[in-house]
């Protein structure tokens, strides 16, 4: 627990510094961090998928493709043609993997889907981080508030009052009571932050309602990451953060939120 607290404190401070200084001429600090995190997440996810396979560089093709997608997205998402780029890139990926699927004998439909999943799963959320920070520091703080407060309140209320398991086959320690507590406190507190700092042009009720939805999405993201680990029989994606696991262990919830929040901001 002591190591977990120390690592968590350092993690929050360092992330906070990147968030705070990552604007203007130093915008590349946070956007660059997002790209590096995406690359690290792709490596972790690929290692998990290939855990029981003989090492082959080809099995990690999704890693550089994820890095390229994240990097180009962060550079060009302010351009009018960015949506066209995303469409062309994803279609190109389908074509690349379709050709490989046809001509590489031992490349199965499972490999096809897993590599494509790797690219989407480990890029979109981190692209969302960079995009939201470029719009407003309060947006990215709000995002992390939803994820962290939901996680913290779900954990402590779950320990104290949890009696009914939420998803026992995926994450045995999570409880329905904890999930509800995380939803309410995470959603309401972050919603109040968003409302009083004018993060959105919504009324109080709509802002809190939207924050509750994001809190629920946060918990779904956590469970999705846990199920991936459960299916591949690993405890953590890596040990890059002692006591906390890997990049995907720390950002699994906020990645999911970032995607939906980015879409909301883009269309509003």
DSSP 26: G
- Listed in sequence order, the residues at least 6 apart from 174 whose beta carbon sits closer than 8 Å to its beta carbon are 154, 158, 162, 165, 166, 167, 223
Q: What is the dihedral of CA 138, 35, 17, 195, to 10 degrees?
A: 10
Q: Report whether pLDDT(96) > 90.
A: yes
Residue 1: predicted pLDDT: 61
Residue 40: predicted pLDDT: 96
Q: Report whether pLDDT(61) > 90.
A: yes
DSSP 24: G
The answer to whether 4 touches 207, Cβ cutoff 8 Å, is: no
How many angstroms separate the CA atoms of 83 and 133, rounded?
19
Q: Report whether pLDDT(56) > 80.
A: no
Q: Report whether pLDDT(268) > 90.
A: no
Whole-structure pTM value: 0.93
Average pLDDT of span 156-160: 84
DSSP string, 184-221: HHHHHHHHHHHHHTTSSS--HHHHHHHHHHHHHHHHHH
Region at 16 (left for phi over 0; alpha for psi -120 to 50; beta for the rest): alpha
Average pLDDT of span 152-180: 84
Residue 241: predicted pLDDT: 84
Average pLDDT of span 203-225: 94
The answer to whether 133 touches 19, Cβ cutoff 8 Å, is: yes
Residue 88: predicted pLDDT: 95
> Mean pLDDT over all residues of the chain?
90
The answer to whether 154 touches 182, Cβ cutoff 8 Å, is: yes
Structure-token match 């968003």, residue found: 194
């Amino acid at each position: 627990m002591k190591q977990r607290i120390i690592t968590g404190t350092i993690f929050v401070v360092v992330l906070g510094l990147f968030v705070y200084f990552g604007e203007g001429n130093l915008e590349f600090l946070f956007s660059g961090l997002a790209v590096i995190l995406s690359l690290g997440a792709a490596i972790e996810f690929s290692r998990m998928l290939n855990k029981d396979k003989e090492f082959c560089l080809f099995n990690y093709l999704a890693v550089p493709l994820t890095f390229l997608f994240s990097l180009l997205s962060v550079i060009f998402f302010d351009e009018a043609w960015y949506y066209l780029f995303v469409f062309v890139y994803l279609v190109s990926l389908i074509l690349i993997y379709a050709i490989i699927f046809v001509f590489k004998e031992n490349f199965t439909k499972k490999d096809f889907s897993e590599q494509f999943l790797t690219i989407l799963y480990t890029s979109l959320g981190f692209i969302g981080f960079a995009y939201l920070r470029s719009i407003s520091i309060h947006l990215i703080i709000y995002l992390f508030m939803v994820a962290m407060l939901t996680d913290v309140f779900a954990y402590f209320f779950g320990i104290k009052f949890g009696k009914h398991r939420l998803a026992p086959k995926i994450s045995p320690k999570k409880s329905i009571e904890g999930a509800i507590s995380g939803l309410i406190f995470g959603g309401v507190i972050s919603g109040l932050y968003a409302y009083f700092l004018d993060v959105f042009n919504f009324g109080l009720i709509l802002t809190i309602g939207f924050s509750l939805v994001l809190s629920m999405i946060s918990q779904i993201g956590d469970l999705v990451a846990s199920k991936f680990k459960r299916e591949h029989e690993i405890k953590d994606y890596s040990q890059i953060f002692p006591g906390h696991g890997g990049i995907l262990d720390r950002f699994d919830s906020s990645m999911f939120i970032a995607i939906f929040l980015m879409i909301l901001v883009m269309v509003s």
